[in-house]
Amino acid sequence: MAVPISQMWTVATYVLQQKVKGRKRYPLVLMLEPLFRCNLTCAGCGKIQYPGHVLKMELTPEECFRAVEECGAPMVSIPGGEPLLHPRIGEIVAGLVERKKYIYLCTNALLLKQKIDLFQPSKYLTFSVHLDGQREHHDFSVCLEGGYEKALEGIKEVLGRGFRVTTNTTLFDGADPKSVRGFFDEMMEVGVEGMMLSPGYSYDKAPDQNHFLGRARTRRLFRAILANRKPSWRFNQSPLFLEFLMGKREYPCTAWGMPTFNIFGWQKPCYLLQDGYADTFQELLEATEWERYGTESGNPRCANCMVHSGYEASAVNDTFSSLRGLWQTMKATFNHTYEDAGALKMLDEPVRPVHAYNPLVQIESNPQQEIRA
C-alpha cells in the first residue's frame, strides 16, 4: 500500500464529512501554483510559454496560506513551473505542514540536492518527482540529456534523508508500454513510496501538439501498462482512477475536485483550461458554468481529457458514495493483478524508437545554466 494510513484516514473522514454536510461540490486537492518559471523547457508543457514578466511573478507565502484556508482541501499539490525556484518555497511548505495539509511538492528534482536543507522530513510532505519513464524516454520528454540521472540523484539523496518520495509520470502518444513497466520496476527498486500516472493533456500553448493521446488510445496504452500487474508495484493514486485509465470505468469530470490557484487567482474551470479567473474559491464554485465542461458536455476541449486533475476526484468520490464503491476500491487495492492475455500480446507490438517521432520543438534556453542557479 503506497499511501500511509494516517493520510488515507484524513482523506476518508474529510470526504465523509462533506457527504454528511450534503455538499454537492467539494475540493479534494488544491493545485497551488506559486510560479510558472521552470528550469526545463519540456515540449508538452503549457505553463512556460507565458511572457517573461509573467514568468517572473510568484505568490507570496501569505497568498498561498490564504488560498489553502479558503479552499479547505486536505491535500495540496504544488506544481508550477518548478516550485524549487521559488525563493520562499521553504516558508510555504513549512506553513502548510503547520496547517496539517498533505503536500505533494512536484519537482523535476534538478535542484533537489541543492535545496533540500530548506525542508524537514514530515509525514505531511512528499516530493513528487517528475519522471516520464526510463532514461532515454525521460530525457527526450524533458528535452534535457542527463535529466533522468540528475533526478535520480536527487531522489536517492532525499530518500536517504528520510523524506517521502513519489514519482509522477505523464504519458504521451508513442509511449512504449514495455519500457514503462520496466520503469516501474526501476522505481520500486530505488525505493520510492509510490508512483502516479496521467495521460498528457493537449495544452494549446504547448509547442509539441502531435503527441497527445485521444481517449481510445489512452485506454489501450494504460491497459497494456497496468494489466498483468506485478504485485511489487505501488501506486500513490486512487485504484479506481487507474481502472478508469484502463477503460474499465466511466466517470464524469469533477473539475472542482482539484481547483487551481495561481498568480492570476482561482482558475476557471480547471488546472488545464483557462476560461477566466475568480477572486475567491466560493466565487469559482458559484460562477463557473460546470455543465459546459467534462467529456460528457460535448465541449471539444474536454473531448479527449482523462487527466487526473479532472477525473481522480471522481474516482475518490465513487469510493465513498456507496458500500459497493468501497468494496471495489478495497478489492482493487489488495487483490488485483488484472490478468489479461490480450494486453500481454500488446507488449510485443512493435514500437517506434524514442527519437523516431517528428522532431519536437526545442525552445531557446540554456537549462544547464538554470540548473546551477
The residue ranges that bind ligand SF4 (CB under 6 A) are 253, 255, 269-270, 272-273, 293-295, 301-302, 305, 307, 309-310
* Closer residue to ligand SF4 (CB): 267 or 329: 267
* Closer residue to ligand SF4 (CB): 264 or 357: 264
State the minimum distance, in angstroms, from the CB of residue 215 to ligand SF4: 11
C-alpha cell at 290: 460546470
Helix count (H) and strand count (E) of the chain? 15, 9
| Local structure of residue 290 (DSSP, 8 states) | G
State the minimum distance, in angstroms, from the CB of residue 114 to ligand SF4: 34
Name residues whose C-beta falls within 8 Å of residue 293's C-beta, 6 or more positions apart in sequence. Answer: 253, 255, 269, 270, 273, 299, 302
Question: Edge to edge, what strands does the sheet with 265-269 contain?
Answer: 194-199, 164-171, 125-130, 102-107, 75-78, 29-32, 260-262, 265-269, 274-278
* Closer residue to ligand SF4 (CB): 149 or 289: 289
| Local structure of residue 362 (DSSP, 8 states) | P
* Closer residue to ligand SF4 (CB): 7 or 304: 304
The alpha carbon of residue 142 and the mean position of all alpha carbons in its chain are separated, in whole angstroms, by: 16
The dihedral region occupied by 113, where left means phi > 0, alpha psi between -120 and 50, and beta the remainder, is: alpha
The secondary structure element, H or E, covering residue 334 is: helix 323-334
State the minimum distance, in angstroms, from the CB of residue 239 to ligand SF4: 20
Question: Which residues are 72's β-sheet partners?
Answer: none
* Closer residue to ligand SF4 (CB): 185 or 296: 296
* Closer residue to ligand SF4 (CB): 84 or 316: 316
State the minimum distance, in angstroms, from the CB of residue 269 to ligand SF4: 5
State the minimum distance, in angstroms, from the CB of residue 29 to ligand SF4: 13
State the minimum distance, in angstroms, from the CB of residue 303 to ligand SF4: 8
State the minimum distance, in angstroms, from the CB of residue 366 to ligand SF4: 33
The secondary structure element, H or E, covering residue 151 is: helix 147-160
Residue nearest to ligand SF4 (CB): 310
Coil, strand, or helix at residue 193?
coil
C-alpha cell at 273: 483550461
Query: 254 and 314 in contact (C-beta within 8 Å)?
Result: yes
Calculate ∠ Cα 149-166-243, nearest 5°: 120
State the minimum distance, in angstroms, from the CB of residue 271 to ligand SF4: 7
CA nearest to 346, candidates 137, 210, 181: 181
* Closer residue to ligand SF4 (CB): 124 or 241: 241
What is the residue whose three cell numbers read 495539509? 101
* Closer residue to ligand SF4 (CB): 228 or 299: 299
